[in-house]
């Protein structure tokens, strides 16, 4: 076996270290984060020659430009792989596409100028063979369908002279070329993540997605001398993806590299983020210091490779990417204009600590515990506690008559406790989110304003209840109406606010949470209707002497006389059964929503758990 290789000086490499996977046997198209192959003539050639009963195949760089990766097959004119490579040596190995050893690929991404392999035809085969290859100059620059001239295989081969370099290389699409499904390939294998934590710094959103190779927005950083390469990618049909270099984990006064759509192409831009109160990113007039090396838009994925000078001055501040450490802010969004990008509603994540860009260790995200606690407290308050508390106050005043808790009617004791729990959780959740954001939310979402109004109404309810008039007082009906109105408005606003929370980027909640909330609302309304009808029947059964439908109690004094009776209103057992069903179902819904919120993003958490235990 004759194999030899002239190596150039080693440098930073982006080619697939392990060689081509078998899943691309037919297409020979690398899955390089959706990067398209070059359309120009290849600077590399594949030259076959007959030698001692075999065929020697030479891969050569015509322009002294080393290549880092390759995939090589012998094929029939109609595109079927055949034959096998023998003893390919230390620089390559074979994989099995149609049969054992019929494809050769590289072992490492070390630069190579010339490689030669020995290829054996199938036994008793006679006919033409064309050698077809993919040759990668680096991770983002490669040619697919580089073909040799046709060579005829005979039982008695006559040796050919040593190869001479052709005047122009072949560069065409292989006969069986089929573009693979990018999403399926990316799910199983995505070279964007190759080298993360070993040769390059990687960070992505949601937290932990680099390990599972499922980031919605991600950056991979490689430092080489006075240049720093940033690879940016985003899914979800994002219009832009950006990485910010910040002195803290909050947005404001940060240098940002944007990969943003510009018509049917992508552009790379430098921008500067403003802090409070005018959050936003301003694209710089001076774009010196960065250069777009490669870009692609494949299906719902955008990708840019941007080279930035290690020393840049942005908005009067010097950024030394070689010496200084920075928090990384990764973000993506769906809106872009000629002046800049829109809000990062698709994804946003900040690193938990400052990072040297040459440090390839795993990057931890900033803690989101306060956001998770805020969501959990609000769900427990407004889906759980309020729902049961209002039901008790409206339909159970004439139930458990003769029983008491701390000297108070059972319904009232539970109602008061649940409302106090609601108020405490709401205030705590409100404080937590202010501590986390250190100001008003920058998202264009009514969640913040609706949540503030709900919190104010929640605080006013117990204050008003403390000063409520005596049951026999003239102003008691007015208090009843105001208390009922304030409670119901607060509850409705809270549910609407939670619906808007599903659209918050920081919440990272899946879309199916909307359906859980819709199910809760439908169940809540159905139980109220059932108990309202039951109240009317109960009142009619009692010959109309009393009112078990509490809305009548808001303006009359009839309830006071009825409450003195020592018997429950009719159908008390039915009401208790409905209450039990309601508490169980609402409790399960509340627990499910809290778990989804605390473990968000739930899909990535489940995927990480599954990978760990499978």
Please report the DSSP string for 314-336 in residue order: ETTEEEETTT-EEEEEEEEES-E
Instruction: Please tell me the total number of residues recorded for the chain in this structure.
Output: 614
pLDDT at 182: 35
Q: Rounded to an integer, what distance in angstroms lies between the CA atom of residue 303 and that of residue 234?
A: 7
Residue 174 has pLDDT above 60, yes or no: no
Q: Rounded to an integer, what distance in angstroms lies between the CA atom of residue 513 and that of residue 602?
A: 11
Residue 163 has pLDDT above 90, yes or no: no
Residues 6+ apart with CB under 8 A from 529: none
The CATH architecture that domain 190-356 belongs to is Sandwich (2.60)
pLDDT at 165: 42
pLDDT at 161: 56
Of the CATH numbers 1.10.10.10, 2.60.40.4060, 2.70.210.12, 2.102.10.10, which one belongs to the domain with range 22-181?
2.60.40.4060
The lowest-confidence range among 5-9, 79-83, 152-156, 486-490 is: 5-9
pLDDT at 217: 94
Q: Rounded to an integer, what distance in angstroms lies between the CA atom of residue 524 and that of residue 391?
A: 9
Q: Rounded to an integer, what distance in angstroms lies between the CA atom of residue 229 and that of residue 357?
A: 10
pLDDT at 33: 65
Give pTM, 2 decimals.
0.56
Strand partners, 332: 241, 347
pLDDT at 181: 37
Residue 561 has pLDDT above 50, yes or no: no
Hey, how many other C-beta atoms are within 10 angstroms of the C-beta on 402?
10
Residues 6+ apart with CB under 8 A from 86: 1, 54, 101, 118, 119, 120
From the list 54, 46, 56, 44, the residue with the least C-alpha distance to 3 is: 56
The lowest-confidence range among 199-213, 408-422, 542-556 is: 542-556
| Cα end-to-end distance, the chain, whole Å | 43
pLDDT band at 172 (very low <50, low <70, confident <90, very high): very low
Hey, how many other C-beta atoms are within 10 angstroms of the C-beta on 280?
16
pLDDT at 558: 41
Q: Rounded to an integer, what distance in angstroms lies between the CA atom of residue 380 and that of residue 370?
A: 15
Strand partners, 405: 408
In the chain, where the domains are located: 22-181, 190-356, 369-609
pLDDT at 17: 61
Report the chain's mean pLDDT, rounded to a whole number.
Answer: 82
pLDDT at 553: 55
More reliable by pLDDT, 106 or 402? 106
pLDDT at 430: 94
| Contact predicate 390/527, CB 8 Å | no
For residue 522, the Cα-to-chain-centroid distance in whole angstroms is 30
pLDDT at 50: 82
From the list 127, 90, 95, the residue with the least C-alpha distance to 112 is: 90
What does the pLDDT average to over 583-612?
79
Q: Rounded to an integer, what distance in angstroms lies between the CA atom of residue 473 and that of residue 459?
A: 24
Q: Does the fold of domain 369-609 match that of domain 22-181? A: no
From the list 47, 52, 2, 1, the residue with the least C-alpha distance to 158 is: 52
Q: Which of 27-31, 110-114, 253-257 has the highest mean pLDDT?
A: 253-257
pLDDT at 237: 92
Q: Rounded to an integer, what distance in angstroms lies between the CA atom of residue 121 and that of residue 54?
A: 7
pLDDT at 176: 42
For residue 32, the Cα-to-chain-centroid distance in whole angstroms is 19
Residue 15 has pLDDT above 80, yes or no: no
pLDDT band at 442 (very low <50, low <70, confident <90, very high): low
Q: Rounded to an integer, what distance in angstroms lies between the CA atom of residue 171 and that of residue 43?
A: 9
Q: Rounded to an integer, what distance in angstroms lies between the CA atom of residue 66 and that of residue 55?
A: 24
Of the CATH numbers 3.30.70, 1.20.120, 1.25.40, 2.60.120, which one belongs to the domain with range 369-609?
1.20.120
| Contact predicate 344/330, CB 8 Å | no
Percent of the chain at pLDDT exceeding 90: 34
The lowest-confidence range among 67-81, 190-204, 238-252, 486-500 is: 190-204
Residue 582 has pLDDT above 60, yes or no: yes
């Amino acid at each position: 076996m004759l194999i030899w290789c002239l190596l150039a000086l080693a440098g930073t490499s982006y080619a697939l270290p392990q060689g081509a996977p078998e899943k691309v046997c037919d297409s020979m198209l690398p899955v390089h984060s959706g990067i398209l192959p070059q359309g120009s003539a290849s600077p590399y050639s594949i030259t076959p020659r007959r030698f001692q009963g075999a065929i020697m195949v030479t891969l050569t760089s015509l322009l002294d430009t080393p290549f880092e990766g390759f995939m090589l097959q012998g094929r029939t004119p109609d595109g079927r792989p055949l034959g096998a490579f023998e003893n390919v040596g230390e620089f390559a190995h074979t994989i099995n596409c149609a049969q054992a050893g019929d494809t050769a690929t590289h072992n490492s991404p070390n630069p190579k100028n010339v490689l030669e392999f020995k290829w054996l035809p199938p036994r008793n085969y006679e006919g033409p063979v064309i050698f077809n290859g993919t040759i990668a100059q680096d991770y983002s620059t490669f040619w697919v369908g580089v073909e040799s001239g046709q060579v005829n295989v005979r039982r008695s081969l006559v040796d050919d002279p040593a190869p001479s370099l052709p005047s122009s290389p072949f560069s065409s699409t292989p006969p069986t070329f089929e573009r693979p499904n990018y999403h399926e390939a990316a799910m199983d294998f995505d070279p964007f993540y190759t080298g993360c934590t070993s040769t390059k710094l990687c960070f992505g959103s949601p937290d932990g997605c680099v390990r599972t190779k499922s980031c919605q927005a991600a950056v991979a950083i490689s430092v080489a001398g006075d240049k720093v390469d940033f690879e940016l990618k985003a899914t979800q049909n994002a219009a832009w993806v950006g990485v910010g270099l910040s002195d803290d984990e909050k947005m404001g006064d940060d240098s940002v590299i944007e990969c943003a759509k510009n018509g049917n192409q992508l552009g790379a831009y430098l921008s500067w983020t403003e802090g409070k109160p005018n959050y936003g990113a301003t694209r710089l007039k001076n774009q010196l210091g960065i250069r777009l090396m490669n870009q692609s838009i494949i299906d719902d994925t955008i990708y840019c490779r941007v080279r930035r000078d290690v020393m840049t001055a942005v908005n009067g501040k010097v950024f030394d990417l070689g010496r200084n450490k920075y928090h990384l802010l990764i973000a993506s969004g769906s809106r872009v204009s000629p002046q800049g990008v829109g809000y990062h509603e698709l994804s946003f994540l900040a690193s938990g600590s400052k990072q040297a860009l040459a440090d390839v260790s795993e990057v931890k995200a900033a803690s989101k515990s306060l956001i998770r606690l805020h969501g959990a407290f609000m769900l427990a308050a407004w889906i759980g506690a309020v729902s049961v508390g209002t039901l008790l106050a409206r339909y159970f005043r004439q139930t458990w008559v003769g029983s008491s808790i701390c000297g108070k009617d059972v319904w009232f004791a539970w109602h008061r406790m649940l409302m106090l729990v609601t108020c405490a959780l709401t205030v705590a959740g409100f404080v937590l989110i202010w501590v986390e954001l250190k100001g008003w939310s920058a998202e264009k979402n009514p969640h913040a304003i609706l949540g503030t109004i709900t919190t104010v109404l929640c605080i006013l309810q117990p204050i008003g209840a403390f000063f409520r008039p005596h049951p026999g007082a003239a102003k008691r009906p007015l208090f009843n109406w105001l208390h009922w109105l304030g409670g119901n408005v607060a509850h409705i606003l809270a549910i609407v606010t939670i619906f808007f929370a599903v659209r918050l980027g920081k919440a990272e909640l899946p879309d199916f949470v909307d359906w859980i909330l819709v199910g809760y609302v439908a169940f809540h309304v159905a139980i109220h209707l059932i108990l309202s009808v039951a109240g009317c029947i109960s009142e009619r059964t009692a010959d109309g002497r009393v009112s078990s439908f509490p809305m009548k109690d808001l303006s009359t004094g009839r309830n006071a006389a009825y409450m003195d009776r020592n018997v429950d209103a009719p159908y008390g057992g039915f009401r208790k059964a409905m209450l039990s069903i309601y508490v169980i179902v609402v409790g399960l819904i509340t627990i499910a929503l809290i778990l989804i919120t605390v473990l968000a993003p739930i899909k990535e958490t489940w995927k990480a758990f599954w990978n760990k235990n499978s």
